[in-house]
Amino acid sequence: MTTIVKAANAAEFLSLVPRLLGCHVSQSLVLVPFDGARTLGALRVDLPAPEADADQVAATLIGMVCKLPDADGVALVAYTAASAAAGIPHRPLADAVGRRAETCGLRVVDALCVAADGWGSFLDPECPDTGRPLTELGDAAADGIDHLPQPAADLAAGLELPEVSTATATAGEQALAAFDRAVEVVCGPAATDERGAFGERRVGGGRVDPRSLAASLLLDDLPQLYEQALAWDTTDIDPHDGAAVIWCLSRPALRDIALVGWSGHIRDADEALQAQLRWEQGEEYPAHLAMRMWGDGSRPDPARLESALALVRALAARTPAGERAGLLAMCAWLSWALGRSTHAAHYAGLARDLEPEHGLAEIVLSFVGAGHLPEWTFDRGARRASR
């Protein structure tokens, strides 16, 4: 269902921006593309350093807006902790963005700044040099805004892994060790790495936990396992079933099957599994599957990606802290795929702290560092905020 929100003035428009982003922001530059009178989402970046070339920054940002085929206008909002006492800050940056927008045929809907002690529009000739009182923003609300979800407090909201009890964590660690032993018994030592699936915690001979043995059979149909896991109650995951998914996501070849399936459909995971087996026999890996990692191809279902992210975060919380690299890297990619570059960089950084050369973590950090967003972010049907 489409929600119509009408902003009668700049103050009411500013009340809408956090809803578009999903959170309140600071020290940020936000671009809101328009198709006529309709917004097409929002794009957030950190405020550039004072020494940054304003024209170069503007060219990069407006270049992203131009990827939206229906965009014909753009609004700019700078959020800053700087004072407006000597004049509304960041005017040179706003002017540079405005010039680049007009050069590219985009109308500038507005150019606003919310400072520490005032706010205003660079395009309003009646706006005082030191801005208007911030109290005006507290009373403003766009018509229909109450139908949109409340924004989170800040960009960091949702970064921490879910809390789990000591008993849950202990059960998870024991299940991982038992699953490692079960896979080694069923598939042979070659199924694990030299030290076992999770470093030095390797179970020697002895009894195999029948619950882990049963869970190891889930590996016979990985696409189905990943599909079923999306429907799990993340607050009540069976530790042995969870161990099966954790074990897989810690191995790049098996993780990539999940990545393809969760960003597409179970049939895509089936194809990725077969492609992986053929690649191991020397065949080329299909380009249309590999491109999913880079953010190309058809737009994923955002709800599906959200479910996958919630699942992997829950599994990471149940995994011993030193052994979460693969799961954290997957959290990073899923966050990036949803347009949350700030969260993606956080998870990727944690993964790299554990494994300095972790491949997927390095890829995500390179994406974020280059300002590269998934191409599906620019699909009008996505209607997602990028932050």
User: Which residue matches tokens 């993606």?
Assistant: 344
d(CA 20, CA 3): 12
d(CA 359, CA 171): 29
SS3 (DSSP) at 209: coil
d(CA 183, CA 190): 10
Copy the structure tokens of residue 139.
């009373």
Using left for φ > 0, alpha for ψ between -120 and 50, and beta otherwise, residue 27 falls in left
**pLDDT tier at 174, thresholds 50, 70, 90:** very high
Q: Collect all residues with Cβ–Cβ distance below 8 Å to 340 and sequence separation of at least 6.
A: 386, 387
Greater confidence (209 vs 237) lies with: 237
Q: Across residues 80-84, what is the average pLDDT?
A: 96
Q: Across residues 265-287, what is the average pLDDT?
A: 95
Q: What is the pLDDT of residue 378?
A: 79
Evaluate if residue 2 carries a pLDDT over 60: no
Q: What is the pLDDT of residue 385?
A: 61
d(CA 196, CA 187): 13
Q: Across residues 293-313, what is the average pLDDT?
A: 94
Query: What residue type is assigned to position 76 of the chain?
Result: L
Q: What is the pLDDT of residue 7?
A: 75
Q: Across residues 248-267, what is the average pLDDT?
A: 96
Task: Write the pLDDT tens digit of every residue in 25-60.
Answer: 999 999 999 999 898 889 999 999 989 999 999 999
The CATH number of domain 10-147, selected from 3.40.50.720, 3.40.50.300, 3.40.140.10, 2.170.120.12 = 3.40.140.10
User: Which residue matches tokens 């009340």?
Assistant: 15
Q: Angle formed by the axes of helices 239-249 and 166-187, to 10°? A: 60
Q: What is the pLDDT of residue 383?
A: 46
Evaluate if residue 140 carries a pLDDT over 80: no
Dihedral through CA 17, CA 42, CA 349, CA 285, nearest 10? 160
pTM: 0.84
Q: Angle formed by the axes of helices 302-317 and 325-337, to 10°? A: 160
Evaluate if residue 197 carries a pLDDT over 80: no
Task: Write the pLDDT tens digit of every residue in 85-98.
Answer: 999 999 999 999 99
Copy the structure tokens of residue 167.
């008993």
Give exposure, 3-33, as e/b (b: 16+ Cβ within 10 Å): eebebeebbbbbbbbbbbbbbebeebbbbbb
Evaluate if residue 194 carries a pLDDT over 50: no
Which residue intervals of 155-297 are DSSP H helices?
A: 166-187, 210-216, 222-229, 239-249, 252-262, 266-280, 287-293
End-to-end CA distance of the chain: 24
> How many other C-beta atoms can be found within 10 angstroms of the C-beta atom of residue 164?
17
Q: Where are the domains of the chain?
A: 10-147, 166-386
Q: What is the pLDDT of residue 202?
A: 42
Task: Write the pLDDT tens digit of every residue in 317-375.
Answer: 999 999 999 999 999 999 999 989 999 999 999 999 999 999 999 999 999 988 888 98
